[in-house]
Amino acid sequence: MECSADGPAFYSQPVVVGSDPSLSGRVQSGGNPRNSGLFDQEALLSPEPDSAAYNSPVARPHRTSQLSDAGSYGVTGLSNFGNTCFMNSVLQCIIGTAPLKRYFMRGEWKRKLLMHNEQRAEVVIEFAQLLELMWRGQYSYISPSRFRLAIGDCSEQFGGDDQEDAHEFASFLLDVLHESLNHVYPTPLPEREMTPDEEMQFEKLTDRKQASIQWKRYIRRSLSIITSIFQGQIQSRLTCTSCEHTSTTYHTFTELSVPIPEPRNSNGACGANVGKTGRSFLRKAKQNTDPMLPVNIYQCLDAYSEIEVLDGDDKWICPRCKTRRKATKQLKISRLPQVLIVHLKRFSTRGHFREKLETDVHVPTQRLYMENYVTPGAHPSTMYNLYAVVNHYGTMSGGHYTASVFDELREQWNYFDDTKVFPISETQVASPAAYLLFFVQERAKAK
């Protein structure tokens, strides 16, 4: 493969990964606190700005300096095929996840790859080849053309020419990797549901015991490298306000989608984006010139886990009262993942109108504390450090995605805009454009 250090690398021919060339073509294509020890190095990039991106009021990071070497180890850009910045930014963050990178670079995926779904298996093979090329450090940027073709064969949504949602693509890609690398195959039949008597006994157990039982039920059917790194567990508890009977369920998650509260000014008033209508309200909003107080990530997590009251038509049929009762519902994390992905819900629909929230959410790059959002005994380590961010500039109908990733080897943050890669300061990382946040658990520093 001939390519200058400054030119793109195309891998139109199969690339042999690791020491097992038999995998190449197995599926027909076309079908300080920072020194956690987890990250050897990461870097990302993103695409040329899409036309609508320049309508964004959010300022984009400025170049602070040029990377000293065009083809640096772990710092490789990706070509944009028109509207594939959503794919590029997500790839940079996921490929920049050190434990996943090590898993693929060591070739461990070859022993686990399931071939029963050839289209999904092809995505995994192309992902592995792309990851190795990006971490070789030979090219300043490469063209992920084969990976994109594999994605298109697997999903019509992400194989077209339209701009897609980065959050949806991240969920899709992690799901494909999870299913294709599942240790448990063939998948056993689902376990039977608990009887009412068993549910009553289950509710008497501690939160920790309940969570452990349900997690073991889950991994008996579904266990992969994605489970080990990205998946956690949510507890959902309903409580009858009349008799205090509870009903507790558990489900796994790969990312937390959290709402963004309305910013308030120093007088306690919300911004104009509170769902009210009418010209009088708009006039008052314009007259209010007090600066808005910033929203922080903890307020988003508070909103996610706040107690919801079920009343009126939403009343719960309490098994003990045997009638519809007012109840409360609350979500808590019962198992924290090694890597926590937080999705800031910036896109919303109000009636016939769709809008994007440009609220500046303050996010700590170090020491995100999660102890207020977990069940008792959920995990001994609840502290996280930020290592990657997917940014979105522009509107819902058009815009541009970029990524920021911490490079532990060089101890700096890098900004990835498709083929362009350059360092940025830590203060530029969590901007009003932040959309997906990738945190690594502090306990992982010993790994």
Active site residues: 85, 400
If we measure between CA atoms, which residue out of 198, 228, 226, 229 comes closest to residue 213?
A: 198
> In degrees rounded to 5, what are phi and psi of residue 401?
-105, 140
Q: Which residues pair with 142 in a beta bridge?
A: 9, 78
Question: Which pair of tokens denotes residue 280?
Answer: 């009088």
Contact 231, 337 (CB under 8 A): yes
